[in-house]
Copies of this chain bind each other. A is one copy, B any other.
Amino acid sequence: VKALCLRDGALAVRDIAVPEPGPDEALIRVSMAGICNTDLEIAKGYMGFSGVLGHELCGVVEACSDRRYVGRRVAGEINLACTHCALCRRGLGRHCATRSVMGIVAKDGCFAEYVTLPVRNLHVLPNSLPDELACFVEPTAAAFEVLDQITPMPRDRALVLGDGKLGMLVAQVLLTTGCQVTLAGKHERKLELARALGLTTATQAELEPKSFDIVVDATGSPTGLQQAIGLTRPRGTLVLKSTYHGRLSLDAAPIVIDEITLIGSRCGPFAIAVAALEAGSIDPRPLIDAVLPLHEGVAGFERSAEPGGLKVLLDMRELAAK
């Protein structure tokens, strides 16, 4: 079967064997999968990963020890936890020290006809949620993680820095709390899409320094953190959502002087994301730039990496139909 693989730093569609599910795993025929900025960074060397890329998926369970899952459409959590270490027992399986991570750490991903995942990682999808939207369950969950970490108040001024895929989702998530949300970015096309979603937008030049109670760095850029620090008010909160390959140069003094709270934020709650996508309170439709077949995966990465690019989905359904 076909899969989009990173091997020795080179990205290509290759033939691989159908993966063998472990005893507690399901074999999933992938329907669609989304390309994330993290995938672009991994292709540049982030995480030192080698194997099948991809971690945002929607698919159908073909084989599973728990028969109730067979034939069901699912999304899948990406962290494969050991379930018995101290962190797992604390309910922090997403932080299990010996975890593998689908398409990121020591576990083949979902840019493939088939992928395997532990049954406990599966979330059955409602029929009303089409495949295109179901691919956004994982990034929407990551956006909702912010609300697991901070509680915006109605009068809080929140800023999302970065008009990319994740920034647009985080801004929509913050908007559900009733706080005042501004999305700032560099791309007029994306800011226009954001306004159509009901968001207030700004260019970075329009932002007043040290004026936001909450700032989310979703720039995906090593320069984003310093910008975000400069826009956070004293004693304000900065949520760091960007991951990228490489080191950044930072003047950390303003964090101390302004007593900023900086919170790293990664994966989030799937069930809430499924519900919000189903209810339409989060609408990722405008974020879809293109749907490409798997064999055009490399082109999909290039398209996704273009300045101003948004979500590219890879479609494996025609492969299943063959």
Interface residues of A (CB under 8 A from B): 46, 87, 92, 95, 97, 145, 149, 210, 222, 225, 233-235, 240-244, 246-266
- Interchain CA distance A257-B145 in the complex, whole Å: 12
Question: Does A257 contact B266, Cβ atoms closer than 8 Å?
Answer: yes
Chain B residue contacts of A264, Cβ below 8 A = 254-262
- Interchain CA distance A168-B159 in the complex, whole Å: 38
- Shortest C-beta distance, A161 to chain B (Å), equals 14
Can you name 27 A-B pairs with beta carbons within 8 Å?
A: A87-B234, A92-B234, A92-B235, A95-B259, A97-B210, A145-B259, A225-B252, A240-B255, A240-B256, A241-B256, A243-B253, A246-B251, A247-B249, A247-B250, A247-B251, A248-B250, A248-B252, A249-B249, A256-B264, A256-B266, A257-B264, A258-B264, A259-B264, A259-B266, A260-B264, A261-B261, A262-B263
State the copy count for this chain: 2
With A97-B210, A210-B97, A234-B87 already in contact, the answer to whether A243 and B259 are too (CB < 8 A) is: no
Question: Does A263 contact B261, Cβ atoms closer than 8 Å?
Answer: yes
Question: Does B250 contact A259, Cβ atoms closer than 8 Å?
Answer: no
Question: A92-B235, A240-B252 are known contacts; what are 11 more A-B pairs with Cβ within 8 Å?
Answer: A92-B234, A149-B261, A244-B253, A247-B249, A256-B265, A257-B264, A257-B266, A259-B263, A259-B264, A259-B266, A260-B264
Chain B residue contacts of A240, Cβ below 8 A = 252, 255-256
- Nearest-neighbor residue (CB-CB) of A41 within chain B: B253
Chain B residue contacts of A87, Cβ below 8 A = 233-234
With A87-B234, A234-B87 already in contact, the answer to whether A95 and B252 are too (CB < 8 A) is: no
Question: Does A255 contact B250, Cβ atoms closer than 8 Å?
Answer: no
- Shortest C-beta distance, A221 to chain B (Å), equals 11
Chain B residue contacts of A255, Cβ below 8 A = 240, 262, 264
Chain B residue contacts of A261, Cβ below 8 A = 149, 261-264
Question: Does A95 contact B263, Cβ atoms closer than 8 Å?
Answer: no
Chain B residue contacts of A248, Cβ below 8 A = 249-252
Chain B residue contacts of A249, Cβ below 8 A = 247-250
Question: Does A265 contact B257, Cβ atoms closer than 8 Å?
Answer: no
